[in-house]
Amino acid sequence: MEFLVNLDVDDLERAIDFYAAAFGLQVGRRLGDEAVEMLGGPAPLYLLAKAAESPAFDTGEQHRHYGRHWTPVHLDFVVDDIETAVDKAVNAGAALERPIATHEWGKLALMADPFGHGFCFVQFLGEGYNAIATL
């Protein structure tokens, strides 16, 4: 089994520029005019052009918006140097939503991309999650 990550965006070229600058991803394949594969991470990231206010699913009860929004699913990017990763992402257009926090297991930065999707940077310290894990 493999995972594919899909993100809806309202401006495909702007999203390509952001994910290339913030995470060092490169364009793989263009899938027509409305999707592009970004490579260079542990799983392909597919950017899907979906217009703002278009129905999010068939019932039409919810519509897409690209202001900051909450979803129970988000991406965590594990990095070796969280300060550098945050600076790079902010310079590319991301928002740092809370100052970097240090926990027993490591450091955490809560972020948002320019399309309203939340994501985190994680830098493990010492034993990482093993420092707090129970069996």
Residue 42: predicted pLDDT: 92
pTM of the complete model: 0.90
- pLDDT tens digit string along 37-95? 999 999 999 999 998 888 888 887 888 989 999 888 899 999 999 999 999 999 999 99
Per-residue pLDDT, 54: 87
CA distance 74 to 55: 21
What does CATH list as the number for 1-53?
3.10.180.10
Whether 9 and 116 have beta carbons less than 8 Å apart is answered as: no
Q: Boundaries of CATH 3.10.180.10 in the chain?
A: 1-53, 68-135
Average pLDDT over residues 99-110: 97
Quick one: CATH architecture of 68-135? Roll (3.10)
Please report, for residues 31, 34, 37, 89, the alpha-carbon distance to residue 49 in angstroms, rounded to integers and kept in the order given. Answer: 11, 5, 12, 21
Phi, psi angles (nearest 5°) of residue 80: -85, -30
Positive or negative, the CA dihedral 2, 56, 12, 89 is: negative
Q: What does the pLDDT read at residue 93?
A: 98
Alpha-carbon gap, residue 21 to 7, rounded angstroms? 17
